[in-house]
Chains A and B, each alone.
Chain A
Amino acid sequence: MPPETQGQPTTATEGDDKNFVQRWASGSISNPERTYRILFYIVAISFLVTTLFPFYWLTVVALTPQGDLTNVGLLPNGFNPSAFVEVFTTVPFHIYMLNSLIVGLLTTALVLLLASLAGYAFGRFEFPGRTPLMLIFLAISYFPPAAFLLPLFELFTANITFFTLPGGTEVASPMLFNGPGALVLPYSALFLPLSIFILTTFYSQIPDGLEDAARVEGNTRLGALFKIIMPLSAPGVATAGVLTFIAVYNEYFFAFLMTDGRVQNWGTIVWGLLSYQGRFQTSYNLMAAASLVGVIPIAILVVIAQEKIVSGLTAGGLKE
């Protein structure tokens, strides 16, 4: 660091007979570290501006009164914070958000339960069929959601007798369309593989000795799993949970197609936001305000759990 702070006064004092560009050029030749530093800050700031600008601009549009929405510039045309109240009165956006949050939490709970059991099996045991099974599970996440859509739609609209019991009785699929199950089940299947891989990594890192000690102390197999191993893998469980929740809150395809979009039929934020686009043709300020409101839960989660997100994504990404 010292060379950097020394560089600045020298370039400033010799400045009179040279123009700015020459000064900058001679300074950067004599002190390349400083040039790198300046370039670094320019690039860093431009990345921050491009990622954050859309949020700023949403705020500008949201605050502009509806009548003044033609050619919004970089500052709002007027100041109308009541758009953030209208968002909830024109469309029950809070309920759409609540639906999204509930579907997200239910999916996360189911995924964590199933992924803990599967991750434990993959992480702690060497058994025939282990590697092929892991590859098959992984392959599921490669398929486009569209490849599951048609049969799942038939299944969830009670159009299929998909099991015949040994007695010969046919069991029709339950009517799940327009309910939380029609979203939670496909999401669980789609996002389970990532959680299984994160938890497999965590479980495999727990030393064997701990489990043996727990068994010697008289714990059963399941007792050792739930009392000793699971608490130790809590960071992994938290990581998998955060990633699953974000993925569900993000999802569009099934959220769009597995409900009719009405709020009482478990329409999620996808339908909440689209309803401003359809029914209220000119309510651009409300779309912007609703978008900002919809981002809040996820922004809080990112700020709180950023370490978990980074470790989870990199573990999931580098596993294969």
Chain B
Amino acid sequence: MAAETGSGRSLSLSSPGRWIESLSDTQFAYLLLTPCLVLFGVIAFWPLLRTFEMSLHADLLYGAERIGPFVGFENYVELLTGERNAALPRPFFDSTQIFTSALTVTIIFTVVSVFFETVLGFGQALILNQEFRGRRWARVAIILPWAVPIVIQGMIFFLLFQPTIGFLVEPLQQLGVFSSTPQANSVESLVIVIVADVWKTSAFMALIILAGLQSIDRSLYDVADVAGASKFERFRTITLPLVLSSVLVAMLFRTIGAMRVFGLIETVSSCSTVPSLSCLVVQAFSSSRYASAATVAFVTAAIIGLVVSVYIVKFADVQGAGGF
């Protein structure tokens, strides 16, 4: 059966088949990559170039055209100096309103959530690295939040902190931590969004750190035991240095993810209460300021690129110093 269809195919496809056989390895590799290159070309590279081009034009709020005349880097200059703030739904950066400017909100969200995710993810990884009964189910329970759709994650924390039904708001309010309507308050909503993000994505950190832990040579621990090291010393001198590169990789991925935050904010609170950079792009886009939206999108990409290169330099340091 298989042989029949095989010979049938080679007969009907004989000329393209022969053409493929006649290609060099390089030509064949590029032939295999062609579908990917076409998809990336149309859906990724072209949109990036077009976004960049749009960002070099002026906003045009009325008329058939979407963007106005070419203005060079004026959008970037105005955005970074703060002159554009008034035209945007929320300022890009304004030192007098840290919790409602897109840049600072995104940075606070990223730094705080990635910090807690690293600490908790490390803890979860250390737990999952032990042998115990029911480890398989513990792993399912820890992975599950990571797989939960963003909109459901948002819905969970929207309901948990909904003043009329959630049991959390009243005690927190009595303690003086929260106001009676946390979902309308920028600082409090930011805290809720951070808690929600930590709940969902600590597991991602845990899995990557766990892989690092499991690649550590067990005999190193035997040596430490012979030398009489305590559990804490073993952790500090063996585990921590050897797992550091996995921790950095996990932090890099989470940082990139956190800097794009949008859906979680939109579900738990709203983009005007907690304006992240992605929120600002969408808001400018919905108010027909296409060129401004494109500029913010490109500045966001540039900031992410900057963060990625900082991590890569740091990563090279760790790898070099570790001698591995």
**A contact residues vs B (CB 8 Å cutoff):** 36, 40, 43-44, 47-48, 50-52, 54-55, 57-58, 61, 69-74, 113-115, 117-118, 120-122, 125-128, 130, 133, 137, 140, 142-155, 162, 185-186, 188-189, 192, 196, 220-223, 227, 246, 249-253, 256-257, 269-270, 273-274, 277, 284, 287-288, 290-291, 294-295, 298-299, 301-303, 306, 309-310, 313-314, 317-318, 320
Contacts and interface: CB of A to CB of B under 8 A. Distances in A.
Contacts of A48: 138, 141-142
B119 interface: no
A189 B44 contact: yes
Nearest to B14: A220
Contact of B167 (A72, A114, A186): A72
A73 B26 CA distance: 65
A256 to B, nearest CB: 7
Contacts of B210: 310, 314
B20 A221 contact: yes
A146 B35 contact: no
Given A117-B32, A287-B158, 12 more contacts: A72-B165, A120-B32, A143-B48, A144-B297, A144-B304, A252-B263, A253-B263, A299-B144, A302-B140, A313-B208, A317-B249, A317-B253
A142 B304 contact: yes
A117 B35 contact: yes
Contact of A128 (B26, B124, B144): B26
Interface string B287-304: 000100110111011001
A240 to B, nearest CB: 14
Interface of B: 6, 10, 17, 20-21, 25-26, 28-30, 32-33, 35-36, 39-40, 42-44, 46-48, 50-51, 54, 66, 120, 123-124, 127, 130, 132, 136, 138-145, 147-152, 155-160, 162, 164-167, 170, 199, 203-204, 207-208, 210-212, 231, 246, 249-250, 253, 256, 259-260, 262-264, 266-267, 277-278, 281-282, 285, 290, 293-294, 296-298, 300-301, 304-305, 308
14 contacts: A44-B138, A51-B199, A54-B157, A114-B39, A118-B35, A149-B293, A162-B42, A189-B40, A192-B40, A252-B262, A274-B267, A295-B148, A302-B147, A314-B207
Given A48-B141, A144-B259, A70 B25 contact: no
A220 B278 contact: no
Nearest to A310: B207
Contact of A220 (B10, B36, B51): B10
Contacts of A146: 260, 262, 277-278, 281-282, 293, 296-297, 300
B28 A125 contact: yes
Given A151-B50, A249-B149, A47 B124 contact: yes
- Ranked 10 nearest A-B pairs via Cβ: A252-B263, A314-B211, A151-B50, A151-B47, A189-B43, A146-B281, A121-B32, A127-B26, A121-B29, A125-B29
| Main SS at interface, chain B | helix
Contact of B156 (A36, A142, A291, A310): A291
B106 to A, nearest CB: 10
A295 B156 CA distance: 11
A283 to B, nearest CB: 11
A61 B278 contact: no
Given A44-B132, A302-B144, A253 B262 contact: yes
B298 A147 contact: yes
A286 to B, nearest CB: 11
A144 B159 contact: no
Contacts of A47: 120, 123-124, 127, 142
Contacts of B246: 317-318
B58 to A, nearest CB: 15
Contact of B164 (A69, A188, A251, A306): A69
B43 A253 contact: no
B22 to A, nearest CB: 10
A34 B123 CA distance: 19
B165 A295 contact: no
Looking at B20, B136, B260, B296, the one whose CB has the most chain A CB atoms below 10 A away is B260
A214 to B, nearest CB: 12
A73 B168 CA distance: 9
A271 to B, nearest CB: 9
B301 A185 contact: no
A125 B151 contact: no
Contacts of A155: 42, 47
A179 B276 CA distance: 28
A51 to B, nearest CB: 5
A143 B160 contact: no
Given A150-B285, A252-B262, A301 B277 contact: no
Given A40-B130, A47-B127, A252-B262, A148 B47 contact: yes
A197 B48 CA distance: 22
A294 B152 contact: yes
A140 B305 CA distance: 11
Contacts of B26: 125, 127-128
Contact of B305 (A114, A142, A162): A142
Given A125-B28, A143-B301, A250-B147, A149 B281 contact: yes
A232 B36 CA distance: 22
A125 B204 CA distance: 32
